[in-house]
């Protein structure tokens, strides 16, 4: 029977196996296990890929957010605004930094944070806004930056799902995400568009002071080996991950193009299925399709049907952040976030990865059409 995985990380490894195996062997040969020259090389190339001045490799994408907040001097007593529709890492890292999470509902088209609702959540304690470039599509940075400037707030772009995505800002024109705000954070979790072979993350910024503090905070607040200016954490990138990421970075643009082709095929083949809502792409952004998310009120039944036909799908995310037990203490009701609370029951993520074949796409579409014909 046909089996279509949601992602296939092994296929990608096999396509670059020799380079990867050699890189891993070199790290071991040079005993460059934590930080070290391979991480440094990757940091240089990754910041260049985003036209940014600094990149600091850290342990994972969740730490990247909390460390970046610490580098902005945000902590106990502060409030940070973020999107109701994201993975828990975004809000969790705000709490880890010591600050209070404030959620804002999502837009009905891109599902990114709704800028028109941000000002209503700003108080005298608000210090920053964290938009998430969700599923690979940039958030509305022009509107967010305008609000941030007006109220003197920092902006941290959670770019975990959006490596090298592009945005067309009114002032600066087209550019890679990550440098529109004050600082941005990335995840290299294996399933992300640029994935390591374990956990890894990065902080990217043009601000020298923030870069310096973030690098120190991630490495025990060190000035030198045993001279610590303040207490930080231990969250550094492994040499093996840095070496692997540096190789994969060369292929990233090509892989993103493949993801766009997959998305275009789905768009074309599914446009005449009135029961589903397809991903909306803003003309101001170049989507990198970490996920291809459709919506239907029949999500549960469709997911089950596709599963029976051998097509693996995902849900991103089945419970909007304010509705999670973890945030009961904020005492929200689902009605406070009408879009996020409704859409959580309708999202369905279809298989998408660079190596997905046209045949697999056509099979998936055929099964979706078969479901709605029943």
Ligand X SMILES: *Cc1c(COP(=O)(O)O)cnc(C)c1O
**Would you tell me which residues interact with ligand X (CB under 6 A)?**
60-62, 86-87, 89-90, 132, 158, 160-161, 187, 189, 199, 201
Half-sphere exposure of 59 (CA within 13 A, CB side): 11
Q: Looking at beta carbons only, is 62 or 296 nearer to ligand X?
A: 62
Q: To the nearest whole angstrom, how small is the minimum distance from the Cβ of residue 318 to ligand X?
A: 15
Q: To the nearest whole angstrom, how small is the minimum distance from the Cβ of residue 146 to ligand X?
A: 23
Position with the least CB separation from ligand X = 61
Q: To the nearest whole angstrom, how small is the minimum distance from the Cβ of residue 91 to ligand X?
A: 9
| CA 46 to each of CA 62, 145, 178, 277, 356: distance values in angstroms, whole numbers, following the listed order | 18, 24, 11, 34, 26
Q: Looking at beta carbons only, is 158 or 246 nearer to ligand X?
A: 158
Q: To the nearest whole angstrom, how small is the minimum distance from the Cβ of residue 196 to ligand X?
A: 9
Q: Looking at beta carbons only, is 197 or 371 nearer to ligand X?
A: 197
Half-sphere exposure of 360 (CA within 13 A, CB side): 20
From the list 165, 163, 228, 172, the residue with the least C-alpha distance to 195 is: 163
Distance of CA 13 to the CA centre of its chain: 21
Q: Looking at beta carbons only, is 62 or 360 nearer to ligand X?
A: 62
332-347 burial code (b ≥16 CB/10 A, e <16): beeeebebbbebbebb
Any idea which residue has 């997905």 for tokens?
Answer: 356
Contacts of 39 (CB under 8 A, 6+ apart): 32, 57, 236, 237, 238, 239, 241, 242
Q: Looking at beta carbons only, is 85 or 364 nearer to ligand X?
A: 85
Q: To the nearest whole angstrom, how small is the minimum distance from the Cβ of residue 214 to ligand X?
A: 16
Q: Looking at beta carbons only, is 58 or 210 nearer to ligand X?
A: 58
Strand 173-176 vs strand 183-187: parallel, antiparallel, or unpaired?
unpaired
Strand 79-83 vs strand 222-224: parallel, antiparallel, or unpaired?
unpaired
Q: To the nearest whole angstrom, how small is the minimum distance from the Cβ of residue 137 to ligand X?
A: 12
């Amino acid at each position: 029977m046909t089996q279509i995985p949601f992602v296939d990380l092994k296929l990608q490894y096999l396509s670059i196996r020799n380079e990867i195996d050699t890189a891993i062997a070199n790290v071991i040969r040079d005993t460059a296990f934590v930080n070290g020259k391979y991480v440094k090389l990757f940091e240089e190339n990754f910041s260049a890929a985003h036209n940014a001045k600094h990149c600091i490799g850290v342990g994972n994408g969740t730490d990247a957010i909390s460390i970046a907040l610490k580098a902005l001097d945000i902590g106990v007593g502060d409030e940070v605004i973020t999107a109701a529709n994201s993975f828990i890492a975004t809000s969790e890292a705000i709490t880890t930094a010591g600050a209070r999470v404030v959620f804002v509902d999502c837009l009905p088209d891109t599902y990114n944070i709704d800028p028109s609702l941000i000002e209503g959540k700003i108080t005298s304690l608000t210090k920053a806004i964290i938009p998430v470039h969700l599923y690979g599509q940039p958030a509305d940075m022009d509107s967010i930056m305008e609000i941030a400037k007006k109220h003197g707030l920092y902006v941290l772009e959670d770019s975990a799902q959006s490596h090298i995505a592009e945005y067309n800002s009114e002032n600066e024109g087209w550019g890679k995400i990550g440098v529109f705000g004050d600082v941005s954070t990335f995840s290299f979790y294996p399933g992300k568009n640029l994935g390591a072979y374990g956990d890894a993350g990065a902080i990217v910024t043009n601000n020298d002071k923030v870069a310096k503090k973030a690098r120190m905070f991630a490495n025990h607040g060190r000035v030198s080996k045993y001279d610590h200016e303040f207490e930080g954490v231990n969250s550094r990138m492994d040499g093996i991950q840095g070496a692997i990421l540096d190789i994969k970075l060369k292929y990233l643009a090509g892989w993103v193009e493949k993801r766009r082709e997959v998305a275009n095929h789905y768009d074309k083949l599914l446009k005449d299925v009135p029961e589903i809502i397809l991903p909306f792409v803003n003309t101001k952004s170049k989507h990198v399709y970490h996920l291809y998310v459709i919506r239907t009120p029949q999500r549960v039944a469709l997911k089950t049907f596709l599963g029976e036909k051998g097509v693996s799908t995902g849900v991103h995310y089945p419970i909007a952040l304010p509705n999670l037990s973890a945030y009961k203490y904020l005492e929200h009701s689902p009605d406070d976030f009408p879009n996020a609370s409704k859409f959580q029951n309708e999202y369905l993520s279809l298989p998408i990865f660079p190596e997905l074949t046209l045949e697999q796409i056509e099979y998936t579409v055929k099964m979706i059409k078969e479901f709605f014909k029943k």
